[in-house]
Amino acid sequence: EDAAAEALLSAVEKWPVDGVPPNPGGWLTTTAGNRAIDRLRRESHRDAKHQAAFVIHDDTPHEPTGIV
């Protein structure tokens, strides 16, 4: 639903300037699909970044390694 709403908003912004495309339904479908894929990619990167931040800021005590 979010991707469809974003595609419709994009159409409202672009079509008055660029004109309505020959196949408006196809344009909306393609744009919504692209927005959904972009969102999934952002979310997957966000999860990886959160995991990396957790590893960097891990405050659990660790056993010393090597000669003490």
Domain spans of the chain, in order of start: 2-56
End-to-end CA distance of the chain: 58
- How confident is the model over 1-20, as pLDDT tens digits? 899 999 999 999 999 999 99
Strand, helix or coil for residue 60? coil
User: Residue 43: which pLDDT band, with cuts at 50, 70 and 90?
Assistant: confident
Average pLDDT over residues 45-67: 68
pTM greater than 0.95: no
